[in-house]
A and B are shown apart, each in its own frame.
Chain A
Amino acid sequence: MTKLLRVVSPDGKYKEKDEPPLSEEELLKMYRYMMLTRALDTRGMALQRQGRIGFYVPSSGEEAVQIGSSFPLEPRDWIVPAYREQGAALLRGIPMAGIMAQLYGNEEDTAKGRQMPNHFTSRAAHFVPTSSPVGTQIPIAVGLGWAARIRGDNVVALGYFGDGATSQGDFHAAMNFAGLFQANTVFVCKNNQWAISVPFGNQTGTNEVAIKAQAYGFEGVRVDGNDVLAVYQASKEAIDKARFGGGPTLIEAVTYRMGPHTSSDDPTRYRDEAEVEKWRKKDPIVRFQRYLKEKGIWNEEMEVEIRQEAEAQVEEAVVRAEKRGLPSPATLFDDVYAEMPWHIKEAKEAFLEYLEKS
């Protein structure tokens, strides 16, 4: 088994020599974003249950992976996400209002309400549009990182995917290309132990993901995905290495999907509550909080302030989203091509005529 990297133990203890060189301010920024992600997920699920949005994909339990791995990125770098990366989206600078507009699919959504919730996108944030098909994003992350290498740019692409995705052909094609062409790409596998109802043990004959990198000629590392500093450390090294021509790295972040797969899923059908309970005790936010407390940069008052601030940010975005209307139906026909061909023009005219009439 590849050694599991860890900086902070579950009770918040750490060795000074293992700590990454992060300032107090940076540490607190990480914490704030983890809390913000949790607040968004809690609210997102509630909004779905109340029928105010159609669907939601919670990322609870995976905040450390998202924040730790995207924290070292620079604005010119790219994220190629799966559908459970709202924390990384926020940290990359997609505003909460934009996140909420996407969840509501309203007129303020930059993607014009075309994608189901959690499929975030932002050109400005270099956050490539999320897709539902599992695994398709991985070769795309290679293309971005490879192009940077061809152009001699010190730019990195970071691709996210789940443990289930490692079974897809696209994962293996991506790894092979990246290894051969030494793409400036960092692969982050969020091994959250489940692919809907299929446990990781039934996904592959290897008992880990990291080892697969060996077959493609580059390094695979395993990191405690509930330890944000360990994830940060491994990601920082991999990102720096990719940036300066050292080639790709596969990071397996061992974590846990604490909630259902999506708002449509009922995990009690296939997994034991005892297992969930066991992992809930390893909550990445609690762990980081203990660490910050150990370091003397956390107290109850601050906790309340951070939580309230996160909740207020979410609340404000909800209020705003609910005031917005739907995108105009005419926009349905935009962006299929750069220039609208005759048959779409005709379809649009007939459609608008019919809408007017009915």
Chain B
Amino acid sequence: MPEMNIVQAVNSALLEEMQRDDRVILLGEDIGKNGGVFRCTEGLFEEFGPDRVIDTPLAESGIIGASIGMAFYGLRPVPEIQFLDFIYPAFDQIVSEAAKFRYRSGGEYPCQITIRSPYGGGIKGGHYHSQSTETYFAHTPGLKVVIPSAPYDTKGLLLSSIRDPDPVLFLEPKRIYRAGREEVPEGEFTIPLGEAKVVREGADVSIFAYGAMISQCTGAAEQAEEVGISCEVVDLRTLVPLDIDAVLDSVRKTGRVVIVYEATKFLGYGAEIAAILAEKAIESLEAPILRVAGLDTPFPYTHENLYLPDAGRILDAVEKVYSF
């Protein structure tokens, strides 16, 4: 089996799906000859030509709106938004249109598009190349939100997303695009949406996270182990729909919860998990639920490392809930 990093896993998924299904087409800024600013579409323009790998004008609303129309016509567009921070000209097309077509047509106009976009901090990108604003989208009924944390999952989840009958926002943790390689199958292979993955089993504290935060969480879990705290790290992988069973199973086992995300803490995805646990698992909880998240400020440049959750801050929270 070949070893791949996340960029290569994205590329491999796109290549194979385009070979398998000629309805799949890509649209985006700089994705053609340049292969994407992160090189996720490298070689695809040469392979499939300018009708299937389209360098668009600089207009996100155009990219997404046109993708929706193409989907109605029977194509399977996989548009790329260069950075999640630049998706807002298309916000209307995504939340008012793509997300609602199935519903407002009584099911007659499903909208099968998969929007890929790199998200998150850690690359010294300042306000607009760093944000983690998945919650705006997860808050919109009709839209699925998927965030992988490793190459293997990236490929399996991207293939499932492209084949999913609903619009999917597929967010790629750019900070770990090239962080490590692992074996990724070639050929037919999918991971179902809506299934979390326990990346590390533990008995004392459940840590829920996704994307680039997973490696920070496993790092914290290793350090916790040394002081005798056993952490379970659950990679949610799909934010919508959430794998509620995986979350409840883990909490029933540990009774203590830390939720980690790099978005702004206030009203971030962790707020929803905490609310769900308060509704469905209050009898299992043995400590307050803590969130370790980005600061409640815009994303900074010089001090991005202080803004972003790291293993130290996660460990601090783990110790707090453990010793409560």
Contacts and interface: CB of A to CB of B under 8 A. Distances in A.
Given A113-B302, A132-B126, A134-B58, A336 B296 contact: yes
Interface of chain A: mostly helix, strand, loop or mixed: loop
Contacts of A113: 300-303
B302 A133 contact: no
B140 interface: no
Interface stretch (A20-28, A197-205, A213-221): A197-205
Interface string A345-356: 001000100110
A55 interface: yes
Contacts, number: 118
Kindly state the interface size class of chain A when it binds its partner: 35 or more
A329 B55 contact: no
Interface in A317-358: 326-327, 329, 332-333, 336, 343-344, 347, 351, 354-355, 357-358
A269 interface: yes
B296 A343 contact: yes
A329 B306 contact: yes
A333 B303 CA distance: 11
A114 B127 contact: yes
Contact of B302 (A105, A164, A167, A197): A105
B219 to A, nearest CB: 15
A169 to B, nearest CB: 5
B125 to A, nearest CB: 6
Contacts of B86: 132-134
A164 B30 CA distance: 12
Interface in B170-220: none
A107 B316 CA distance: 29
Contact of A197 (B55, B124, B316): B55
A195 to B, nearest CB: 5
Contact of B58 (A54, A55, A165): A165
A116 B127 contact: yes
Contact of A347 (B35, B295, B303, B316): B295
Contacts of B57: 164, 167, 198, 202-204
Interface string B280-321: 000000000000000111101111001100001100100000
B316 A55 contact: no
A119 B306 contact: no
Given A132-B127, A133-B128, A336 B298 contact: yes
Interface in B92-119: none
B74 interface: no
Contacts of A169: 59, 61, 89
A269 B33 contact: yes
A357 B317 CA distance: 13
Given A116-B124, A169-B59, A197-B55, A332 B306 contact: yes
A197 B129 contact: no
A312 interface: no
**In this complex, which of B265, B297, B301 has the most chain A Cβ atoms within 10 angstroms of its Cβ?**
B301
A20 B55 CA distance: 41
A131 interface: yes
Nearest to B307: A332
B70 to A, nearest CB: 18
A208 interface: no
B295 A333 contact: yes
B34 interface: yes
3 closest Cβ pairs, A-B complex: A116-B126, A113-B302, A132-B128
